[in-house]
Structure formats: C-alpha cells, structure tokens
Amino acid sequence: MTAPTSPGLGHHHGGEGGGSLAIEIRGLTKRFGNRAALHAIDLEVPPGRIVGLIGPNGAGKTTTMRTLVDIVRPTAGTVLVLGRDPRRGGAAQRRRIGYLPGELAVHSRGSARRALEHYAALDGVAGSAARIDALADRLHLDLERSARALSKGNRQKIGVIQAFAHQPELLILDEPTSGLDPLVQHEFLALVREARNAGATVLLSSHVISEIAQVADDVAVVREGRMIAASTVARLRAEASREVRILVDLPDRPGLLHRLSELPGTRVQPRAADDQEGLVRAELTGEVSGFVAALSGLSVRDLVVQEPDLERAVLALYGLDDAQTTRDAP
C-alpha cells in the first residue's frame, strides 16, 4: 500500500540546496544483508510541522530516522534533510538538527553537565549555559549528579536537553519519552510545541498513541518497512468515533432507538446487563448536529458525549486490532 500524501504532509517538490521541504524521502529502501528493513518509503514534511511516526516494533521507524542523520545509508532511494543529502551535509548540517536516538548511550564518568558538554563537542553544537540550566530545571534533572549513576529516565532527560539546547531548525526524536515519568512527559510535549511555534520542524516516533495525538499536526504510519498511511491529526479528529450515552424516560427509549437506527454514522451498542432503564449507548461517527436533532422532543434526563476516540482512529491506520497492537507494543 502506498501512503497517500495528506495536506499536512505537503505537496512540495524541491532539489538539494533549495527545496522547501524540511524532510523529503523518495523510494527509501534499506537492506541489512538479505533482510529488507525499508521498502520504497516516501515521506514529505514541510517546515514548521510536528509529524508523528508510528508503527509496531520493527516497523522501520528507527531505521528511517537514522537515514536522516547519516547513521544508516540507503540501499536505494533519495533522502533530503533541510534541502541537503545527509551524506554530504557535514558539520554545518548537524548544527541545524537536534537528534535524540532511541537508545542514548551515556558513558561520561563525570556529571550530567559534563555529558552534555561531551555531546556538544561531538556534534559541534551547544546551547548556552543558561538555556541548558533552564531545560534541566523544567525536566527536573540535577546536572551535577554523576551521569553514569542516573536512572534510565534521567539519562533520557540528558538526551532531550542535548537535542533541544541549541534550538535547532529540525528535531528528530526517536521514542523521546521512553522512561520519563508522566509529569516530565507533559513538560517534554510543551517543549515540542514551543519549538514548533518558534518555527522548528519536529519528527518524532512514539508507541504512545495518545501522546502523538496530543502534539502532532500529522501522522505517518509504517508497518513491516512500508509506509501504509498518512493523515493530518485534524482529519483523524474529524473522522474519529465518539461514544455517547443518552438517558431518557423509559417510554421514550423505543423511539430513541428507532431514530438512531436511521441516523447515518451511528451504531447502537448492545445493552449491558447493568444498564439503567432508559439508557442507550451508541457510537457516533456522523455529524453531531444530526445526532442532537434526533433527540428533539424526547425527555432526555442525561447526556454524555465523549471526545473523539483518536486512538481507535490511529489503530485503524495501523490496520491492526487492539489485541495485535498490544502484542506488538513494548
């Protein structure tokens, strides 16, 4: 299946050095020996967008990201990052990118601050001391602690800081919230939004679908090394289903069931054994206005309309049911 190009993922075409896309991938194929990790992937990311790259373990997310920073080189196809081939971008290209690998190795024998200085020296980039201190404060990381003695979550904070410290044009973040506690995850997502609002482009992968739904403008779905779908989050929200519960006086229940059965995009759910008399549960994928009109004249005693189920919509893009996705998740 070829992923459709969504409005959010762009329709621009640019050449090396002058393209308008932050990321442009055409026919990206990667083989490791006899194993094909990526099969002719296409992806376009315009500047100033947050794109969530999602898929089960082994789908090819990490391999795709590594080609963008010249850790992995394509077997076939083309990759342009900020208008340049990563293989020829050199130090100048690295200074424009903030990269957080999925597995960050922290070998420094000194403090967390010393580890950050080490990464800055390797990449030729460094944020100001004041910005590093501010990021550490927001993420609750003690920079004077021994880096090697830090927990996985605190080592991940070092990775986040080194990616964001120099305020790059492009952030490439592979499973960035792995090991972070919920409060720090919330702060991390705020950093991502702030970077986008300042004009940066962000490509991040995550197994946490709700996290992608919260922060991303677009999603691109990979499975078994193939790009199988792409969509804007706004489109997903528009197409996602809502769970509704309507409590009416018992004599009105048959009439409500009849109206809902004739309403497009509405599916009445089976009645649970412990449901109240007069309670109807339904799944709504149509217009809310039509649903509200269907309640006219009925004795509605209570009404609950949940937010659109974005996770279910994203799982539909996976082409997986809940059970298989659970098996594939870490």
Q: What is the pLDDT of residue 11?
A: 39
Does residue 321 have a pLDDT over 50? Answer: no
Alpha-carbon distance of 326 to 13, in angstroms, equals 37
Question: Quick one: average pLDDT of 37-65?
Answer: 93
Tens digit of pLDDT for each residue in 237-295? 777 788 999 999 999 999 999 999 999 889 999 888 778 889 999 998 877 888 999 99
| Mean pLDDT in residue range 189-194 | 96
pLDDT in tens, 111-131: 999 988 888 877 677 778 889
The 10 Å CB-count burial string (b at 16+, else e) for 196-223 is beeebbbbbbbbbbebbbbbbbbbbbbb
Give the long-range contacts of residues 192-197, CB within 8 A, separation 24 or more: 192/50, 193/50, 195/164, 195/167, 195/171, 196/48, 196/49, 196/50
Q: 51 pLDDT band (50/70/90 cuts)?
A: very high
Predicted pLDDT at 327: 34
pTM: 0.80
Average pLDDT, the chain: 85
Q: Which residue has the tokens 């690998």?
A: 101
pLDDT in tens, 12-46: 344 444 458 999 999 999 999 999 999 999 999 99
Tokens of 177: 């919230």
- The domains found in the chain, sorted by start residue, are 7-96+168-237 (3.40.50.300), 241-307 (3.30.70.1150)
User: What confidence tens digit (pLDDT) does each residue in 144-173 have?
Assistant: 999 888 999 999 999 999 999 999 999 999
pLDDT at 9: 55
Residues 14 and 20 sit within 8 Å (Cβ to Cβ): yes
CB 3 within 8 Å of CB 227: yes
Among 291, 285, 323, 314, which Cα is nearest to 55's?
314
- How are strands ordered across the β-sheet holding 35-45? 35-45, 23-32, 76-81
Residue 169 has what DSSP assignment? S
